[in-house]
Amino acid sequence: MRNRRYQMLFFLFFPAFLFAQQKATRVDKKDLPNVILIFMDDMGYGDLGVTGALDYQTSILDQMANHGIRFTNFLVPQAVCSASRAALLTGNYPNRMGVHGAYMPNAKAGLKSSEITIAEMLKSKGYQSYMVGKWHLGNEPEFLPTKQGFDGYVGLPYSNDMWPVEFDGSPAKKGGRVAHYPKLPLLQSKVGQEIPDTIGIIKDLKDQATLTQRYTKEAVDYIKKHKKDRFFLYLAHNMTHAPIAASEKFIGKTKQGLYGDVMAEIDWSMGTILQALKDAKIEDNTIVIFTSDNGPWLNFGNQNGSSGGFREGKGTSWEGGQRVPCIIQWPKVIKQGRIENNLSSSMDIFATLADIVNYQEHPFQIDGLSFLPNLKDAEAKPHRDRMYYYYNKNDLEAVRLENWKLVFPHRYRSYEDILPGNDGNGGKYNSKTVDSLMLFDLRRDPAERYNVIEQHPDVKEKLLQMAEEARADLGDDLTKRKGANRRD
């Protein structure tokens, strides 16, 4: 009876004690940073000046990297549009949430409302939030950004090639690949509005060429309007996803051609947003994050980007598909520029922001890990040592532990040993198969060319055990495992 009485007292008073502890450590509202998250589409690791881009410059982004932190080992958990975006906004492996691939228009599927996004998390801490650009997590009204924590939204509901127009800008061919797509709408909505307004139709490549300018103006106007608030601004560019387009001001600006012109305009956009922060006198305590959803769509040749020498590109579990640039600027905390070479993931952005604002109310355990200590201290220990590489619906194609990557037998679409298309026309894909286990030491072989599995049997066994942990948790269609902790 005495033990039971003690237990009752514990459960009566422990929540109050916990609340008092949380209240004591809660960050003062006046010190909370603004957050701007800029997400590119199909921009590869090698597409910035600081990562080796040729025949065009990204001087603003390079300067941002030189004053902030540039991550060189930054992975998305899946190299495809919807899955990558779900992971970014929730801090979870997308297959944990039942998200995979790229949602087609009117797919009647999207991010489940019970999942917590960055917008919802920050809203619980008093933030305003706004989204500009490509959503691609369900285009039905119940899935749109204003149902996922954003106060307002302007942009396209999915990829800019999901329209009844060919990649070269000509009308869809009867019975062709894009003939079944609806017109591409530019949407606007705010909280409480059940059906978004269609404020424009993107009819042709000239309309596509207006998107970067339009999105930048929306972002700058939002910063001006909310400079006295705490805000989260999520800007998801449609560029550099094919078909690419640049405004007249940037056409012919670079030696590289249209792709270089598009990147020059993106760099201008970044500079315009950073200037807006300076003008509003809120630059010092605003976190600005710039990254991409996956690697380049390489079969578009001269009108798509570079994987920076990593193997393959978008739609694969090789490094060229999942390793992307990431730059973070936060002058109040990051006092001088540096490079972070340790393993990180887009899932970690949610966890890091939650750490910054002391968010502890999440109903689920998430897969992201906070790198806040690494932002504050160049000597901090690596926050992450492993990643799972899933693709398709739930195929575990590889696992990684520190610099070691074990690749499992699987079939994949390939850009190798086949010529790409050019001038807006996509080339064909090759199809390749990994027939047996392959082990790569990414420190010595970042291009994944030398299978060293026979030289390191101990490493192989360690990564096989790690793969079993992944399958028990998330499942694996390749080995017909369901996994215990996947949500609908």
Torsion of CA 157, 397, 458, 438, to 10 degrees: -120
Q: What is the pLDDT of residue 415?
A: 98
Question: Tokens representing 5?
Answer: 């009485």
Beta bridge partners of 412: 432
Q: Are 36 and 235 in contact (CB under 8 A)?
A: yes
**Residue 253 pLDDT > 50:** yes
Start-end of H helices in 249-316: 258-279
- Round to whole Å and give the CA distance between 112 and 194: 17
- Round to whole Å and give the CA distance between 312 and 440: 15
**Residue 301 pLDDT > 80:** yes
Q: What is the pLDDT of residue 14?
A: 39
Coil, strand, or helix at residue 234? Answer: strand
Coil, strand, or helix at residue 390? Answer: strand
Coil, strand, or helix at residue 309? Answer: coil
- Round to whole Å and give the CA distance between 237 and 87: 17
- Round to whole Å and give the CA distance between 177 and 410: 27
Coil, strand, or helix at residue 384? Answer: coil
**2 phi/psi in degrees, rounded to 5:** -65, -45
**Residue 88 pLDDT > 70:** yes
Sorting pLDDT into bands at 50, 70 and 90, what band is 168?
Answer: confident
Catalytic residue among 67, 100, 136, 241: 136
Catalytic residue among 81, 100, 226, 410: 81
Span 54-84, pLDDT tens digits = 999 999 999 999 999 999 999 999 999 999 9
321 CB-side CA count, 13 A: 23
- pTM for this one? 0.94
Torsion of CA 313, 316, 318, 319, to 10 degrees: 50
- Round to whole Å and give the CA distance between 297 and 279: 37
**Residue 146 pLDDT > 60:** yes
- Round to whole Å and give the CA distance between 283 and 464: 46
**Residue 22 pLDDT > 60:** no
**Whole-Å CA distances, 324 to 158, 295, 296, 302, 449:** 21, 6, 9, 19, 19
**Planar angle of CA 71, 443, 69, nearest 5 degrees:** 10
**Residue 21 pLDDT > 80:** no
362 classed as catalytic:
no
**Residue 1 pLDDT > 70:** no
Q: For 371-383, what is the mean pLDDT? A: 96
Q: What is the pLDDT of residue 20?
A: 39
- The closest alpha carbon to 280, from 225, 338, 329, 323, belongs to 225
**Residue 351 pLDDT > 60:** yes
Q: Which residues contact 392 (CB under 8 A, 6 or more apart)?
A: 100, 101, 477
Beta bridge partners of 153: 131, 189
Span 417-459, pLDDT tens digits = 999 999 999 999 999 999 999 999 999 999 999 999 999 999 9
Sorting pLDDT into bands at 50, 70 and 90, what band is 28?
Answer: low
Start-end of H helices in 333-371: 347-357
- Round to whole Å and give the CA distance between 467 and 300: 34
Over the chain, what is the mean pLDDT? 94
- Round to whole Å and give the CA distance between 293 and 282: 27
- The closest alpha carbon to 36, from 68, 62, 77, 11, belongs to 68
Q: For 202-215, what is the mean pLDDT? A: 98
**Whole-Å CA distances, 167 to 171, 241, 272, 362:** 9, 11, 29, 42
- Round to whole Å and give the CA distance between 351 and 428: 39
**Residue 16 pLDDT > 60:** no
Torsion of CA 479, 482, 487, 488, to 10 degrees: 90
136 classed as catalytic:
yes
Q: Are 137 and 103 in contact (CB under 8 A)?
A: yes
Q: What is the pLDDT of residue 29?
A: 64
Give 110-135 as a 3 state SS string.
Answer: CCCCCCCCHHHHHHCCCCEEEEEECC
Coil, strand, or helix at residue 18? Answer: helix
